[in-house]
Homo-oligomer: A and B are copies of this chain.
Amino acid sequence: MAPVTNGRIIFNSIPEGFPVPGETTVYDTSDTIDIDTVTLDGGYLIKTLELSIDPYMRGRMRAPSKKSYSDPYFVGKPLNGFGVGAVIRSEHPEVQVGDHLSGYLDHQQYIIKKDLKGLQKINNSYNLPWSTFIGVLGMPGKTSYMAWKEFSHAKKGETVFVSTGAGPVGSLVIQLAKRDGLKVIGSAGSDEKVKFMKEIGADVAFNYKTTKTTEVLEKEGPIDIYWDNVGGETLDAALNAANIYGRFIECGMISGYNNGHSTGIKNLFQVVAKSLTVSGFIIFRLEAKYGDEFYKTLPPLVASGEIKYTEDVYNGLDKVGDAILAVQKGTNKAKAIVHVADD
């Protein structure tokens, strides 16, 4: 077969504010690949199927000298992130054609790999869509499940507030909290997202753009647990509305990702005044403790529909830049997936 285009998304420049499609990232089609004849050198060839677009990716768009929990992207190199791919050729003894792998993939249509580093074979015994393995059954799902188990110390009858409650992480937190018998307050940035939060069981769901978070929490709180995906003013509101001995699970602070976290947190003294515990975490550190439990518990619940999820699918690798910006602005409708190719 003749060579085909091997499209990829290049990290082109470090953004100051929001990442700009075509400037921060560019879709590059200059490379070609002959998938039948390309040399594998004992490795294997992946066709990229689905890519996950996540809030944390903004943090990787930084000068490499700045240290953080995630590796930086390098200007001139492809982006990478969680994805699912299908093996279409292999010379590797542990990898067979037809295997599906999830994990870190370059944002590229076809990828040659030498080993399984950063990837794992998907055991899809419930025949779930491949995209679930980068969503509710992937990093976002693990984030929710494992950190909830580790840090929430949830007790029946308590109240939890979940920000970005319609996102892939928040929506699973809402459902886990309801299964634990908590009162759940969820916030998100559109009426469509509010509707979804109600569908998955949130007792109170509101659009923070049209309803004041402080007022909702004053009426519906105090809150025993705050699942923080946004930081900023929402975190300040949660600190004020916290119950004594409250637990704050610091998953992310997207409100600051595109403005250098310039909004200072004013109410942090509540940590002292109310004996709060505020926990940041890195999900891979919890994998050893909760990995088996996660893979045993979640897939059947997703397959049966007891745990719900929703996706906002962008068709085509060239849409990565748009999806990244939407996630940073919160204009995506749900968990953002870039569908690169059919299986």
Contact = CB atoms under 8 A, between A and B. Distances in A.
Which size class do A's interface residues fall under? Answer: 20 to 34
A159 to B, nearest CB: 17
B268 A261 contact: yes
A129 to B, nearest CB: 30
Interface string A205-223: 0000000000000000000
Interface string A247-277: 0001111001000011111111111111111
A168 interface: no
Contact of A250 (B250, B266, B272, B280): B272
A268 B69 contact: no
A120 interface: no
A153 interface: no
Contacts of A261: 266-269
A303 interface: no
Contact of A274 (B59, B69, B263, B273): B69
A266 B277 contact: no
Interface in A272-314: 272-282, 285
A290 to B, nearest CB: 16
Given A264-B264, A269-B256, A271-B250, A277 B276 contact: no
Given A69-B244, A275-B69, A268 B253 contact: yes
27 contacts: A59-B273, A69-B272, A235-B268, A250-B271, A251-B272, A252-B272, A253-B269, A261-B268, A261-B269, A262-B266, A263-B264, A264-B266, A265-B266, A265-B268, A270-B280, A271-B278, A271-B280, A272-B280, A274-B280, A275-B280, A275-B281, A275-B282, A275-B285, A276-B280, A277-B277, A277-B280, A278-B278
Interface of A: 59, 68-69, 231, 235, 244, 250-253, 256, 261-282, 285
